[in-house]
Amino acid sequence: MVNPIPLRRAVFLDRDGVVNRALERDGKPYPPTSLAEFEILPGVPEACAKLKQAGFLLVVATNQPDVGRGTLAQSVVEEIHAHLRRALPIDRVEVCYHPGGGQSDCDCRKPKPGMLLRAARDLGLDLARSWMVGDRWRDIDCGRAADCRTIFIDYGYAEELKQAPDFRCGSLLEAAEIILSSAARQ
C-alpha cells in the first residue's frame, strides 16, 4: 500500500493592508489603483521568506470588487499581481473580481471561503493546519469558514469584527512569528 502524500500547510494573505499599504480614507482601507500606488509594507519580504523557509505555501486571497464595478481595469490588478509575484515568494494569487454589495452572489468573495477552498483543492492543502491573515472582518470570517486559524492585523479601522480571530497583531512580520511559534509547538 502506498502512503498518501501528506497535505501541505499554507498561509493565506489578504493583499491590501497585509502585503501592501492600503490607501486609507475616512478610517477605511482602499486598494491601490495603479502600480505606482502599490507599496509592499515593511517587514513583508522578511515575513514571507521565514514562512517559506518553514515550509508554508503562500497564497494571496483578495477581493477586488472595483473591477466588477467597472471602476478599475482588470489589467491594472493583473499588473500589480505580476509585480507582487516578482517581488515576493508567493505561490498563488486568488482573486474575486465580483462587485459585491448585493450585486453578485458568488462563492469566492470573502467572507465566503471559495478562494481558500479552490487553492486547497488545487494545491493539496490541509486547511486545519493553515492560516488566514487579514486586516478586515471579511478575512477573519473567511478563514473561519475554511477551518483555518486566523490572525487579525489591527490598524484600528472604523470597522468592527464579526468573529474573534485566534490572534491579533500589528504586522505580517508579527503574524509570521505567531505562526512559526505555533508550528514549532505542534
Exposure class string for 63-91: b at 16+ Cβ within 10 A, else e: bbbbbbeeebeeebbeebbeebeeebebb
Q: β-strand 10-13 against 92-96: which pairing, if any?
A: unpaired
At which residue does the C-alpha cell 464595478 appear? 69
Query: In 20-164, at which residue ranges do the beta strands (DSSP E only) sit?
Result: 23-25, 28-30, 57-63, 92-96, 131-134, 149-153
Please give the positions annotated as active site. Answer: 14, 16
